[in-house]
Structure 1
Amino acid sequence: MKVNKVTTNLRSILYALPLTVIGTSAIANESTEARNVERIEVTGSRIKRIGELSPSPVTVITGDSLVEAGVVNVADLLHKMPSTLVGLSPETSNNFIFASGLNTTDLRGLGESRTLVLVNGRRFVAGAPGSSAVDLNNIPTAIIERVEITTGGASAVYGSDAVAGVVNIITKKSYDGVTVDLSTSRPSQKGGEEEYASFTFGSSAGKASFISNLSFARQKQISFMDRDFLRDAPIVVRNTSNIIGEPAQIFWGLGRQVRPGFTNTGSFVSNGKRYTFDASGKVREQILGEELPTLPSGHKDYLGGEGYNFAEVSFMRTPLDRINFVSNMNYELSNAHQLTMEVNYSRTKAYGESSPAFLGFSLKADNAFLSPEAAELVRNANEDASVSVGYLANDFGNRQYFQERTLARFALGLEGEISENWNYQTYITSGHVQADSIWKGEMFEQRFYQAVDAIKNSDGEIVCRDATARANGCVPLNVFGRELYDQRAYDWVSTDAIRRSSIQQHVAGISVSGDILELPAGWLSSALSAEYRKEIASTLPDPAMRSGQLFNNKSDPLYGKFDVSELSAEFSVPLISDIVLAKNVTLEVAGRYMDYSVTGSDTAWKLGLNWEVYDDLRVRLNKSKSVRAPNIGELFNPPGQTFRRLVDPCAVSSRAGLNETYRQNILNNCAAQGIPEDFEPTADWFSSTRPGFIIGNTELSNEVAKDITVGFVFTPSTVKGLSLTMDYWAFDMSDVINRFQGPDVVNYCYQSSSLDNPFCPLIERDPETFDIINYFEKPINSALSKTAGVDTELNYRFDTDIGAFGFRMISTYLQTRKFNATGFAEDEVDNTGEQLRPRWKHRFITDYSFGNLSAALTVNHRSASVLSNRWTPNQNNFNDVPSYTTFDLTSRYRYSDALELRLGLLNMFDKTPPRRPFMYNQGGAYDMIGQRLTVGISYDF
């Protein structure tokens, strides 16, 4: 079967192609002799090629390298690549209510929505409603043949979302036999344990072949109390020295910070002393720890004692369970045509966890639940005979956000040969994700305030003070102790909430590829394709969430859809062949036309030049225009009311504080709207926060990126096994989608050179009073972004009498990362060399193999950086971020033809994040699990 022939010869193809290949000893043992192989499609191009220079820089991660890295989720390895940032991960998503447990990747740090993830060259359904980012949890590692990563300029070939590049996950197509794989990971500190079990089976008989995999993976939670570097956290306090030039904030030290204003039974102050209640409800002085200097917020916190202990109610890693089933089937209709089918089913369960609800309420001295001693303290606190109470609702439990996501996807394809030089592919895919969220530990906030405000009626019964609340069923709630409440009161106040959501994606496509005519320098090749895609997303929150009755959680329903029709053409034009300093020169051209139902039509293009100077040196140049269409969330997010305090720049009372740079613009724009020169908002407007709406924007247009890549591949024939690849890349993006809060919307509207700007349409004024009566916090195409850098990879591999050795250094240097949210010059922010975007990131792999034994030592390094480039010495004394390096040692031993054993030690030296403010808990930059032992076994039947 042709598909098996391609699969069998894949590793030799990877050696023939000048690509960045992430692999280890398994590839080293393969012969690199040239073999006759069929044309294959390399990511970054739809044109099938045989062993020629890839038109774009492509990094290849083999399935073997995933196993040897000791990971069971492809996201875990992608997050460590120098060219990527973490999009979402279990270490970064705990506090994202609807996103906990998601695993997404972010090429070049341009945003996960600008990274296109494909499976076998086809789009994959998104992981969260409203988003376009693919959840990598849904793709089991056991069935991955390789992962191809190309960065930049892929929109002309693949369409929207490929601005930063493409991650193309190629799965195995056939398999003979049965393999059982079991592994576990055990950290040196509790929490974060992992278990993995995989069952792979397949057969190839006659014209039919298939491979199926059923896998289960579990990772456990990590709380701040599970890690010593999180338990005793860095503490920042005000600098009280009052010496000119010294920083306003200083790093005080490490400790367990406690805010005394909230306790499990209520905390209040009377006559300068702080009181709380014991478990039985008896009032007593609150136990306080060591008093800290005043914090930047103005609070006085303590080390230890009773109160809101930050470490006890904080969580680092989201627990995640995954079940995946994948089956790929192939049937050879004839020698020239075959039918393919892919089935994906996965179910993931995760939950985010945060502190119990923390509430503040007014407690009156006549509260029926107070003892005479407590009532006396409240009565003597102030003239109103009341105190403010801070309550941490531990009796209701931590707030937990359970996520259950179920994915089902089906793909059917027909591919084959039209003629000796032409082949075709047709396919349809349909994917559906059902994502349900359940809130535990929630409460009806207003009901809580009504229930704790209890009095005795004329019959001596304890009732809720509010007569309307009583009529609605209010039951008085005693929180001044532990579990003293009536169960009916608990039931009236507490609740679980549910949000159901779904995502649908339907795609149909066809492409043809082949040679058009033979030119003097070679064959003119092309690929033509057409694709139709429809996406739908919806959410239906619990009625209590829609009405905003729950503590700190309000959510409105979402429904949005769009469809897009696309046509693309790609040509590979040989220009020169077999002359001095130009063994081959090929021009690569690609163009795509897209017609979106919401944003209209757009185009993307790409020009590339591949120059093989001689056998050892190849040079490539690519320049392209890419686009990203807004996703469903950006377009159709439902309106949610918000309140902001605004300053009206058109008011006479505001003129003294106007930005002098834009003073004349502001005055001109106010006059152009017909606002009188002596305008002053009404007294009511000044006295309250103003309502507005957070909402999607169906008027959004596509983002545009212009990018360029220039690089070379050097494989000296005089040094066998040595190769050097280097590429310079740059992205210049405009019309980037960004969202602004109400005060910024007002400021930028009037600071612009005219009223013809994207901000002014988001403001509504009363036609008579001219008061701002409404504003919309919509996403708009206002931002600019510039990113540039250099990728380098150095490989050297050689054999000796005592085994084979391999060395590989993969590096990314970030030259520029600038972002401007508005287009105003002073709003440009330079993020180059900040913590998440250090100047240098390296991944160095040394591997060794001898007989049945192989081992690999991997070093991951991030260079020293800073928290902020806008830092000045008078701000704080903790801006510098030290470099960070981890070491992983993994090994494999083939005990027999059937049995393989694996052993690894990840983060060998238990490297922790920097113990500094805003660094110690950054899961997107550092290893939060710590040193861990991995053990695995694989058996082939």
Structure 2
Amino acid sequence: MTRGITKSSMAAALKCGVASTAMLLVAGTAFAQAQPESDKDKIDGASIPDIVVTGTLIRGIAPAGTNVIGVTQEAVQATGATTTAQLLQSIPQLGQFNTLQQPAGAFNTVTGNRPNLRNLPGFNTAGSSPTLVLVDGHRVVGVGIQSTSPDPDIIPPAIIERVEIVPDGGSAIYGSDAVAGVLNFITKKNFNGVQLDSHYGFADNYYSLDASVTLGKSWEGGSAYIAYNYSEHDDIYGRDRDYVRTPQVRTGGVLVQSLRCSPGNVLVGSNLYALPYTSGTQRAGTANSCDESDNVAIYPREHRHSVFAGLTQQLNDAISVDIRTYFTERKVATNLGPNVNSTLLAPFSIPGLLITSPYYGSHVTTANPFSPLELQTVSYAFGPDQQQRLSTSTWGIAPTVTADIGAGFQLRALASYGESTTENHVGQLNTNAVNAAVSSGAFNPYDPASSSAIGLTALRNYETFGKVRQQLFNARLVIDGSLFTLPGGAVKLAAGVEYNEESFKSQKGTLVPGTENTGFGGYYYTSGNTTTTLVAPYGALPLARVGRNTKSAFGELVVPIFSDENGFAGMRQLTVSASGRYDKYSDFGDTFNPKFGLTYKPVEWIKVRGAWGKSFAAPSLADNSVVDIANLRKVNDAAGNLGFIFPPAALVASGMYPAVPAGNRNVALMFGTKPGIQPQKATTWSVGADISPPIVPGLRLSVTYWNIDFRNLIQVPSFTSPNFYAQFGSLIYVNPTQAIIDSFVNQANLVDGEPSSCTQPSNCYAILDTRKQNLGNFKLDGLDFAVSYFRETGFGSVDFNVNANYELSRKAQPVQGQPYVDQLRGIGGRIKSSTTLGANVGNLRSQLTWNYTGGYDLLIPVGLEQQTRVKGFHVFNLFFKYDVPGESKILKDLSFTLNVNNVLDQDPPYYALQAFNVAQMGYTNGNTVGRFVQFGVSKKF
């Protein structure tokens, strides 16, 4: 049984938090007065601040055995990022690297920008994420219609002090989601003064601007600040970029991009005719071809307001308080292009025989090539263009109380509460109403403009709607300190407990806009004495509510066996760590995840590290079948534009699947979530080395081998992939019996669109079970490389940095029990790298960055060209920053920046296969807005 966060439970939690904090303050004060100050902690023999690094619970040390990737505020500035999502596009270990991430995807599947370390599968489909996102060590409420992952864009880039990335399993420390690793955004702790930042950038048919102001005051023992950020950018259409194009297909003997045009086309048997048909002038083999991507936004327009505030106060020598609070509102709008469709017409689909049909009879004489007994497929397009409107609002507060309780121990109490609301409207053609509108005479597919007003309204006044409110309450107590001292140093322990409570309230479906809370009386068309129901009446969309709580206990032990205190040649340091965490979920059960780490230094300038552990990603509340109800949809591809829903010709020729009958191009797809989703689990391990050779001062080399065995994946089978029929055979029911059809119909919610065909074996080629479910397993391993070099010169300094991710193998088992499939040929390249060369000359900083995504071979040749390889993608970016010299009020702390991204205006690699998402046609393996020039100015008072 699941439940939401009730008012009483929230009140109880808040009271408990207040009481705990009060006791913590009293206890902390008493212990601090009685005990001596603890010794300073050290990392690699050097004193460091008393902070907690991501990946460990213990202050003042780096996580044993694990590599931590750091992104500084200076690096953030050099990217020119105006949102945190744009910043993440510059990190090779993330799936978003070298491409445009956007929060508006098809229907309700993508409604937020969430990071994906190691580009693990299920990124856009599973409600949970295999990458944990923290802000100052706190969990953050998720956003989205079908996801519960945080959106990093709640953090304005201007207040990010640094980003710590641990690309290694972290469930032994943090619990769910830390499969591929953890991203921790560390915000500014102290700020004094007023700072203004603004940027304006432009590319072809595109602009972007942002402005922020930060107000802060520091005093002895504390600081407070508040930052406001506004950003916006407009949209980019397919017609604005020549690489976005619908690849050609051959239909009716004619090469076309799409037949769904205005005016449209009609396919009769194997003959194609362009509309309108005029007697004596039209011949078979003619077509109106169009590019559906021209009027579709490939990158949406967006407006965002963000407020972020922080307070830090040292109450006394032992106790400090940190509070962070935030609010973000985002609005995204996407033009989806005109209403397009292909309708299969049988002899009695419309009043009378086709030969006398009022729809095209006036254009046809006795030379009519259409037999009244022939099937016809009419393809058409009509406006106005459909729109997607996405809005998200997120707010939260996260206090931390830290108390030194004596004997070197510290107690930290962390809490957070957040809420988010996501609302999504995706306009679309009501394909369920097409047949009734055509057969009644309300809609003329041959000439949509001549249709009745009610016929057009019934078809185009329709949308996929989703609205979700999420709540998250989290409380954590952690104590850490030194247990005792060995010859190699102090043995450190951290332990704690955590309580998590979350709720998810969802309302979604397909409907006439604005009727989600009222229901709808229907659309009707009357002709003569006959009244036809075009859209049946329906009631208000139901609200689905689910919730759960999680109780956790965790611990970590770090043992320094050898160190500077007792080390010797060949054994300068040997540190081992062990951590583990027990989580008990109120909905699916419990899990325990351990991790072990080791750091070894044979000499001071070489460090070898290794780690092994288990991690998991719990099914999110969005993955609950109560909120993601199954529905059955029919897809007809009489025009041949959706070939991906049928088996490739090679599989038909091999005998694996029967040929698709010309008159039965109907497929039913089962959407929603399959009941009984279970956690995703993983075993991760890594080994690496960091080298700082003394013969080359300023040089640091790093290499890490990592391995992920990801199991029981929560996925939506990718029915749009050309590999679907080869990989998901157990989910495909070709030539289904009536019993199989009835079984799917009985499991589905048909209110959301009952298929008008595929209801009996004679008119149903296949049923595809594309529900979200636990499917197969996934194995991935690779290497991370890093090179950094810094050298001071007579004119200033030079620096060189490389961060690269090289995949050795990427294998997927689509369904458990099947062989693993090599995915390095088919969906992505092996290597992603970012190389930076910079120089500081006086007050001028200059930097060149090369971002590269490797090419790859295709498993199955695609498109008419039988394309077998996708090329690599090279993007070069320039950055300049000039700090104006001077001590006057006007000149002091004044700086200017110039970013020129994609200097060479490189197009992303060509891809010949038509895609389900029109905005993604013609290219793959990366994307940018094109050559983008951005000016920035910053002034602090």
Q: Does 1:720 align with 2:728?
A: no
Partner of 1:340: 322
Partner of 1:731: 708
Deviation at 1:479, TM superposition (A): 7.5
Deviation at 1:451, TM superposition (A): 4.8
* Range that drifts further, 496-505 or 219-228: 496-505
* AA aligned opposite 2:881: R
Provide the C-alpha distance between the structure 1 equivalents of 2:227 and 2:297, rounded to a whole number of angstroms.
Answer: 33
Partner of 2:808: 815
- Describe the SS at the equivalent of 1:84: coil
Provide the C-alpha distance between the structure 2 equivalents of 1:526 and 1:198, rounded to a whole number of angstroms.
Answer: 42
Equivalent residue in structure 2 for 1:350, among 332, 337, 341: 332
Provide the C-alpha distance between the structure 2 equivalents of 1:887 and 1:692, rounded to a whole number of angstroms.
Answer: 43
Does structure 2 conserve the Cα–Cα contact (< 8 Å) formed by 1:412 and 1:428?
Answer: yes
Q: Does 1:224 align with 2:238?
A: yes
Deviation at 1:898, TM superposition (A): 2.5
Provide the C-alpha distance between the structure 1 equivalents of 2:391 and 2:772, rounded to a whole number of angstroms.
Answer: 29
The C-alpha deviation readout for 1:239-261, integer Å capped at 9, x for no partner, is: 99xxxxxxxxxxx9xx9x54345
Deviation at 1:439, TM superposition (A): 3.7
Change (3 A) 1:352 1:812: same
Deviation at 1:419, TM superposition (A): 1.5
Provide the C-alpha distance between the structure 1 equivalents of 2:145 and 2:338, rounded to a whole number of angstroms.
Answer: 27
Provide the C-alpha distance between the structure 2 equivalents of 1:933 and 1:584, rounded to a whole number of angstroms.
Answer: 48
Partner of 1:133: 149
Change (3 A) 1:308 1:267: farther
Instruction: Please give the residue correspondences for 1:76-475 in structure 2 after superposition, counting only pairs within 5 Å.
Output: 76-86=86-96, 91=101, 94-99=104-109, 102-111=112-121, 112=123, 113-187=129-203, 189-191=204-206, 193-231=207-245, 234-235=247-248, 257-260=256-259, 262-264=261-263, 274=273, 276-277=275-276, 306-359=288-341, 360=343, 362=349, 373-374=362-363, 376=365, 381-383=370-372, 389-394=378-383, 397-440=384-427, 442=428, 444-445=430-431, 449-451=435-437
Partner of 1:882: 871
Partner of 1:790: 783
- Describe the SS at the equivalent of 2:95: strand
* AA aligned opposite 2:423: D
Change (3 A) 1:922 1:149: farther
- Describe the SS at the equivalent of 2:696: coil
Does structure 1 conserve the Cα–Cα contact (< 8 Å) formed by 2:235 and 2:334?
Answer: no
The C-alpha deviation readout for 1:583-612, integer Å capped at 9, x for no partner, is: 121111100001011221110111111112
Does structure 2 conserve the Cα–Cα contact (< 8 Å) formed by 1:406 and 1:434?
Answer: yes
The C-alpha deviation readout for 1:149-208, integer Å capped at 9, x for no partner, is: 111121101111000000111111221011111101211x223x2111111111112444
Partner of 2:680: 703
The C-alpha deviation readout for 1:675-695, integer Å capped at 9, x for no partner, is: xxxxxxxxxxxx999989644
Partner of 2:858: 867
Instruction: Please give the residue correspondences for 1:754-793 in structure 2 after superposition, counting only pairs within 5 Å.
Output: 779-793=772-786
Change (3 A) 1:286 1:407: farther
Does structure 1 conserve the Cα–Cα contact (< 8 Å) formed by 2:630 and 2:673?
Answer: no
* AA aligned opposite 1:642: L
The C-alpha deviation readout for 1:493-529, integer Å capped at 9, x for no partner, is: 5425443221111111111111111112110111112
- Describe the SS at the equivalent of 1:823: coil
Instruction: Please give the residue correspondences for 1:602-751 in structure 2 after superposition, counting only pairs within 5 Å.
Output: 602-636=591-625, 637-642=627-632, 694-739=671-716, 748=730
* AA aligned opposite 2:896: L
Provide the C-alpha distance between the structure 2 equivalents of 1:746 and 1:810, rounded to a whole number of angstroms.
Answer: 36
Provide the C-alpha distance between the structure 2 equivalents of 1:808 and 1:699, rounded to a whole number of angstroms.
Answer: 47
Partner of 2:824: 832
Change (3 A) 1:698 1:382: closer
Change (3 A) 1:259 1:619: closer
Change (3 A) 1:373 1:688: closer
Equivalent residue in structure 1 for 2:57, among 34, 46, 54: 46
Aligned residues: 797
Equivalent residue in structure 2 for 1:495, among 448, 461, 469: 461
Deviation at 1:876, TM superposition (A): 6.2
Change (3 A) 1:513 1:833: farther
- Describe the SS at the equivalent of 1:565: strand
Partner of 2:23: none
Partner of 2:794: 801
Q: Does 1:567 align with 2:567?
A: no
* AA aligned opposite 2:196: V
- Describe the SS at the equivalent of 1:77: helix
* Range that drifts further, 261-270 or 847-856: 261-270
* AA aligned opposite 1:905: V
Q: Does 1:65 align with 2:65?
A: no
Deviation at 1:926, TM superposition (A): 1.8
* AA aligned opposite 2:228: L
Partner of 2:910: 915
Provide the C-alpha distance between the structure 1 equivalents of 2:447 and 2:609, rounded to a whole number of angstroms.
Answer: 72
Partner of 1:532: 499
Does structure 1 conserve the Cα–Cα contact (< 8 Å) formed by 2:308 and 2:324?
Answer: yes
* AA aligned opposite 1:628: A
Deviation at 1:864, TM superposition (A): 3.2
* AA aligned opposite 1:178: V
The C-alpha deviation readout for 1:311-334, integer Å capped at 9, x for no partner, is: 324432122221111111123222
Deviation at 1:478, TM superposition (A): 6.8
* Range that drifts further, 384-393 or 220-229: 384-393
Does structure 1 conserve the Cα–Cα contact (< 8 Å) formed by 2:104 and 2:390?
Answer: no
* AA aligned opposite 1:72: T
Does structure 2 conserve the Cα–Cα contact (< 8 Å) formed by 1:90 and 1:100?
Answer: no
- Describe the SS at the equivalent of 1:66: helix
Provide the C-alpha distance between the structure 1 equivalents of 2:258 and 2:286, rounded to a whole number of angstroms.
Answer: 5
- Describe the SS at the equivalent of 2:867: coil
Change (3 A) 1:792 1:17: farther
- Describe the SS at the equivalent of 1:105: coil
- Describe the SS at the equivalent of 2:115: strand
Partner of 1:652: none
TM (norm. structure 2) is 0.76
Does structure 1 conserve the Cα–Cα contact (< 8 Å) formed by 2:79 and 2:90?
Answer: no
Deviation at 1:699, TM superposition (A): 2.8
Provide the C-alpha distance between the structure 2 equivalents of 1:608 and 1:412, rounded to a whole number of angstroms.
Answer: 30
Partner of 1:672: none
Q: Does 1:522 align with 2:489?
A: yes
- Please, what is the CA RMSD of the aligned residues? 4.3
Provide the C-alpha distance between the structure 1 equivalents of 2:286 and 2:494, rounded to a whole number of angstroms.
Answer: 66
Deviation at 1:925, TM superposition (A): 2.8
Provide the C-alpha distance between the structure 2 equivalents of 1:367 and 1:750, rounded to a whole number of angstroms.
Answer: 41
Provide the C-alpha distance between the structure 1 equivalents of 2:364 and 2:879, rounded to a whole number of angstroms.
Answer: 65
* AA aligned opposite 1:179: Q
- Describe the SS at the equivalent of 1:67: helix
Change (3 A) 1:739 1:259: closer
Provide the C-alpha distance between the structure 1 equivalents of 2:280 and 2:876, rounded to a whole number of angstroms.
Answer: 50
Change (3 A) 1:445 1:839: closer
Change (3 A) 1:339 1:384: same
- Describe the SS at the equivalent of 2:406: coil
Q: Which runs of 5+ in 2 are unaligned?
A: 1-41, 124-128, 524-533, 636-650, 657-663, 734-742, 748-760, 885-890, 915-919
Provide the C-alpha distance between the structure 1 equivalents of 2:508 and 2:408, rounded to a whole number of angstroms.
Answer: 54
